[in-house]
Amino acid sequence: MFKPSSCRAAPLRRALPSHSSALLNPLAANVSKQCSGILVRRASTVTEGETTNKKERVVVLGSGWAGYGFSRALDPSKYERVMISPRSYFVFTPLLASTAVGTLEFRATLESVRRLGLDHFHQGWADDIDFNRKVIRVEANVSDDLRSRVNREISKNKTPELPSKQGEMFEVPYDKLVIACGSYSQTFGIEGVREHAYFLRDVGDARRIRLKVLQLFEKAALPTTSDEQRKKLLHFAIVGGGPTGIEFAAELHDLIRDDLSKLYPDLQKFVGITVYDVAPKVLPMFDQSLATYAMNHFKREGIQVKTEHHLTRIRPDEDTEGCMKLNIKEYGDEEVHAGIVVWSTGLMQNPLIEKLTGKAFECPPIAGNEELGGQIRLQKNPKTGSILTDHHLRVNVVPKDAPPENGNTYPNPGAMTDVYAIGDCAAIPDQALPATAQVASQKAVYLAKQFNKGNAGQQDFKFKNWGTMTYLGNWKAIHQSSADEMKGWTAWVLWRTAYLTKSMSVRNKIMVPIYWCITWLFGRHTSRF
Amino acid sequence: MFKPSSCRAAPLRRALPSHSSALLNPLAANVSKQCSGILVRRASTVTEGETTNKKERVVVLGSGWAGYGFSRALDPSKYERVMISPRSYFVFTPLLASTAVGTLEFRATLESVRRLGLDHFHQGWADDIDFNRKVIRVEANVSDDLRSRVNREISKNKTPELPSKQGEMFEVPYDKLVIACGSYSQTFGIEGVREHAYFLRDVGDARRIRLKVLQLFEKAALPTTSDEQRKKLLHFAIVGGGPTGIEFAAELHDLIRDDLSKLYPDLQKFVGITVYDVAPKVLPMFDQSLATYAMNHFKREGIQVKTEHHLTRIRPDEDTEGCMKLNIKEYGDEEVHAGIVVWSTGLMQNPLIEKLTGKAFECPPIAGNEELGGQIRLQKNPKTGSILTDHHLRVNVVPKDAPPENGNTYPNPGAMTDVYAIGDCAAIPDQALPATAQVASQKAVYLAKQFNKGNAGQQDFKFKNWGTMTYLGNWKAIHQSSADEMKGWTAWVLWRTAYLTKSMSVRNKIMVPIYWCITWLFGRHTSRF
């Protein structure tokens, strides 16, 4: 959290000349905070018995809406706060599509984990959890490529001669654990998606998309490129008609109309944007009237929406470098060409959740069910694979040999008293909540408040629907909540302002409106960097 | 150039709903500007005879201080302006070191080439020039990696099984040519430098350095890292004691003292920064008193400066991943360890200049020397390899068999009337001007003015020394010109403000001070992105 006092002290200290050697006389006497070697030593002494006023150590896995939101709201005077995440920042995901087209600077969507002033932060992936010893095994992420672990398999297949590096492994103990490690993009095992499609989940994804879109225009503008190739290169395919796919299509259209049309007027006749979805209708979370409004708007802008279309394969086009060929079931053998395929069709569980829900372990202390004992396993949602929790967000457990497909309705699961799960990787059996930032955020704040009050496990979590919003391009949006519906420009401004006010640091609350103004005045940056 | 009228029109157009389809009804009727297919067709018709009011086509190679500055000052009503550069932006190099440590956002140092409103821009490398046919052969750069051409050789050595992709080749004709393609970093053929050292010439370099520095701290903070390894990882070696190396050392020190010392207090005792130089003194362009002031300042801050040290090899340390071993002649067999080696020792000619100065060609029309004829070659500086020009910045030519080592003093070179050279790749024989932004910038503006007045080749170029400045960290700088000397904080603010006012777009004139304020208030961003 931003502290006004430190903000005033810092510049003074910096402006005055420092005659002491900051490097040779460092703050070495300070209490250890980030040097993890110390952490491990401290942790090991905990088990040997400590003074009674020692704070409980709460470890949270993840730095997304759930993990970051929880850590931000947890009282540091009551708990030792530890975070494990492969990235050292939180991403304000509703603005990712804007950064992918250059309306906003990438960094304006980021909040550094460091500003939370956590007791410890480990940049790495939780690889496994031992619920009996209460330790997490962590693989450090010190690689350049932030996608390194996710993509290790892909690169291994592509260039088997390059060694796939694994990070250092170490253990982190916990008193209470909050699993908030999110999910991956669902690719349904479709050939070529993981290798050739572009996702839009993290800021690195947004940067890759931005570079690729600008590249496609450069490539199409080359004198050596034929008109036929131009048409292939400048076809932008978006798979998935949920809010992310629709918003990206809208933002991309804005970029092309406002900025690229001036730089490449001759190329405009080759441009096409198509959204593909398997469902009969896009934006399923909106009422038919709003969805129809959105589709009419897209139609006017020249964005095609193809519902009930099934993509079955993506592969590179040998004839046009940088271009892809898409197989679509409804088109038979005829392939569709696209310069980029942006993928946003849904979520799948990440490897940690798969590992945790797939293994049996000795029963640790559990609440509410004394029948459980011996070998148990986590209860999982048979459809999505996510971890099921009770209404206090504590992780449910069932006997090891409980029928796997019956997880959802196992009559009397127990709940672990020291392990919680929130965000996209978790669900409550009888509440069908979507995997959205809103749900993750509300669960995070609820859980931190319960921790702060010291009555975790007593009051039920209740979701309040603040409504759903999708940007449609050209400064228009649709918004729907249980109370009302809105469409158009005013709704967009009000809603986004409210969101920003709620969720971002003072730094970004200042910077985001500045970027908006600058883009509005001078246009988007179109340099390939 | 920023036009207030267009800045007001744009937002209005954007805020109002557009009911026409921008994509389906593009501005196709407009005059071709960027689509290069058209360009080539137009160019070919030029040779067949055109109307007499056709503007001369001036092609400039490069988008640095020389190329960008020239294009910006050239009158578009008098000339058709064409630029060829592998990157689509100009970099404000004095601020690169600031971006490498996160004081400024990377994009704040960039000016898009597109904002110049050129007639044509080709993103690619000039591969060769035919001075008789008056055409440039261009290799397109549409790759993700902006260093792709420079690094093709390196990657080929490292992973020979990966194909090294070459861009498409095409030709661009010119009436007048301005060679302003700059230079590369000089590595003196020292083993491992090109593979393992970090340069600081472009914004991509700054980004790589920033990620690496943050990574080194993360790696050192891991519980699995030993104290000995921490010391190796957190040794930052800078080779070259010119302004770039000294400024980077200063900025890095600021980053560590102001920001990283709070995040990693326990690691501060392992941190070391060393500047190595082969010369007996660093900052040779400054008077002894200012250089001594700088060295005393560094000593107080704990930055080591090792003069008369010769680095002979860099190779990876097998025992500590991500760490390098440096051989230094003065230390014998004992190797120095460093987490990063930042290289800024001087300049060497780029492959195009090498190719151009190495080949003979038929004599095109030249001025001032009717003796020349038959096979000629460009006159080059025997020491630096740069192209020599006359006082009007026209490229000098000498007979093919003129003694190569005598180029500097060849009695009566001719000057090509249609080819000019400015910036780091060019020099005037009897003017020993340094390869700086200031010289490049002044030559660029002089040449454009001569072009605009229509009297290129009449008035001599004269360099005015505006002074030299180096940032020393902790808000202090030294500044020296023929008139005066300054040191300390005020000098730094005044000088930098003047520089910004002179050289940047309105957008960055607004954004850079905003970033400075935000960093001053909230600290530097330390997220690894």
| pTM of the entire predicted model | 0.84
A526 CB within 8 Å of a chain B CB:
yes
Chain A: nearest CA to B277, how far in angstroms?
21
- Average pLDDT estimate for B222-235: 94
B5 CB within 8 Å of a chain A CB:
no
User: B242 or B148: which carries more pLDDT confidence?
Assistant: B242
Residues A406, A399: Cα–Cα separation, whole Å: 12
B220 → chain A, closest CA residue: A35
Hey, what are B266's tokens? 């326990």
Give the B window 157-196 contacts with A, CB below 8 Å.
Answer: 159, 161-162, 168-170
Hey, what are B505's tokens? 């777009």
- Name which of A102-116, A304-318, A468-482, B155-169 the model is least confident about: B155-169
Cα A321 to Cα A216, A338, B466, distances in angstroms: 10, 11, 48
Residues B436, B431: Cα–Cα separation, whole Å: 14
- Average pLDDT estimate for B309-315: 95
Spatial CA neighbour of B468 closest among B423, B446, B444, B435: B435
Query: What is the pLDDT, as a whole number, of residue B70?
Result: 97
Residues A300, A285: Cα–Cα separation, whole Å: 22
Query: What is the pLDDT, as a whole number, of residue B147?
Result: 53
Q: Does A306 score more than 70 pLDDT?
A: yes
The answer to whether the CB atoms of A529 and B204 lie below 8 A apart is: yes
Chain B: nearest CA to A384, how far in angstroms?
31
Listing DSSP states for B115-139 in one string gives: GG--SEEEEEEEEEEETTTTEEEEE
Q: Which of A24, A33, A214 sits opposite B302 (nearest CB)?
A: A24
A154 CB within 8 Å of a chain B CB:
no
Query: What is the pLDDT, as a whole number, of residue A242?
Result: 92
Query: What is the pLDDT, as a whole number, of residue B455?
Result: 81
- Name which of A135-144, B29-38, B247-256 the model is least confident about: B29-38
Residues B135, B171: Cα–Cα separation, whole Å: 6
The answer to whether the CB atoms of B526 and A112 lie below 8 A apart is: yes
- Average pLDDT estimate for A332-338: 93
- Average pLDDT estimate for A59-88: 96
Query: What is the pLDDT, as a whole number, of residue B453?
Result: 94
Which one of B16, B23, B44 makes the best mutation probe of the A interface by having the most chain A beta carbons within 10 Å?
A: B23
Percent with pLDDT over 90 in chain B: 50
pLDDT single digits (tens) A366-421: 766 666 778 899 998 888 899 999 999 999 998 888 776 554 567 778 889 999 99
pLDDT single digits (tens) B470-506: 889 888 888 888 778 888 887 777 767 776 777 678 8
Mean pLDDT, chain A, as a whole number? 83
- Average pLDDT estimate for B251-258: 94
Query: What is the pLDDT, as a whole number, of residue A209?
Result: 95
Q: Does A43 score more than 70 pLDDT?
A: no
In the structure, what pLDDT confidence band is assigned to residue B390 with cuts at 50, 70 and 90? very high
Residues A124, A87: Cα–Cα separation, whole Å: 7
Percent with pLDDT over 70 in chain B: 83
A90 → chain B, closest CA residue: B527
pLDDT single digits (tens) A213-267: 999 998 898 888 999 999 999 999 999 999 999 999 999 999 999 999 988 999 9
**CB of B474 within 8 A of CB of A20?**
no
B23 → chain A, closest CA residue: A302
B517 CB within 8 Å of a chain A CB:
no
Chain B: nearest CA to A325, how far in angstroms?
20
User: B15 or A153: which carries more pLDDT confidence?
Assistant: A153
Spatial CA neighbour of B409 closest among B381, B433, B431: B381
Residues B384, B427: Cα–Cα separation, whole Å: 9
Query: What is the pLDDT, as a whole number, of residue B16?
Result: 32
Listing DSSP states for A426-494 in one string gives: EEBTTB---S-HHHHHHHHHHHHHHHHHT-TTTS--------EEEEEETTEEEEE-SS-EEEEHHHHHH
Chain A: nearest CA to B212, how far in angstroms?
8
Three-state SS annotation for A104-156: CCHHHHEEEHHHHCCCEEEEEEEEEEECCCCEEEEEECCCCCCCHHHHHHHHH
Q: HSE (CB half, 13 Å, CA atoms) of A1?
A: 10
What residue type is A431 in one-letter code? Q
Query: What is the pLDDT, as a whole number, of residue B2?
Result: 29
Taking CB atoms and an 8 Å cutoff, what residues of chain A touch B38? 266
B511 CB within 8 Å of a chain A CB:
yes
- Average pLDDT estimate for B260-288: 93
DSSP 8-class letter at A304: E
Q: Does B259 score more than 50 pLDDT?
A: yes
Query: What is the pLDDT, as a whole number, of residue A370?
Result: 66
User: A467 or B57: which carries more pLDDT confidence?
Assistant: B57
Query: What is the pLDDT, as a whole number, of residue B12?
Result: 30
Query: What is the pLDDT, as a whole number, of residue A129?
Result: 97
Query: What is the pLDDT, as a whole number, of residue A274?
Result: 97
Q: Does A25 score more than 70 pLDDT?
A: no
pLDDT single digits (tens) B337-358: 999 999 999 888 999 999 999 9
Query: What is the pLDDT, as a whole number, of residue B418?
Result: 93
Give the B window 251-280 contacts with A, CB below 8 Å.
Answer: 253, 256-258, 261, 263-269, 271-273
Percent with pLDDT over 90 in chain A: 51
The answer to whether the CB atoms of B33 and A225 lie below 8 A apart is: no
Q: Which of B123, B258, B302 sits opposite A14 (nearest CB)?
A: B258
A209 CB within 8 Å of a chain B CB:
no
Q: Which of A21, A114, A222 sits opposite B526 (nearest CB)?
A: A114
In the structure, what pLDDT confidence band is assigned to residue B367 with cuts at 50, 70 and 90? low
The answer to whether the CB atoms of B222 and A170 lie below 8 A apart is: yes
Query: What is the pLDDT, as a whole number, of residue A320?
Result: 85
Taking CB atoms and an 8 Å cutoff, what residues of chain A touch B273? 23
- Average pLDDT estimate for B234-260: 95
Query: What is the pLDDT, as a whole number, of residue A1?
Result: 29
Query: What is the pLDDT, as a whole number, of residue A366?
Result: 72
Residues A339, A233: Cα–Cα separation, whole Å: 4
B123 → chain A, closest CA residue: A218
Q: Does A158 score more than 70 pLDDT?
A: no
What residue type is A166 in one-letter code? Q
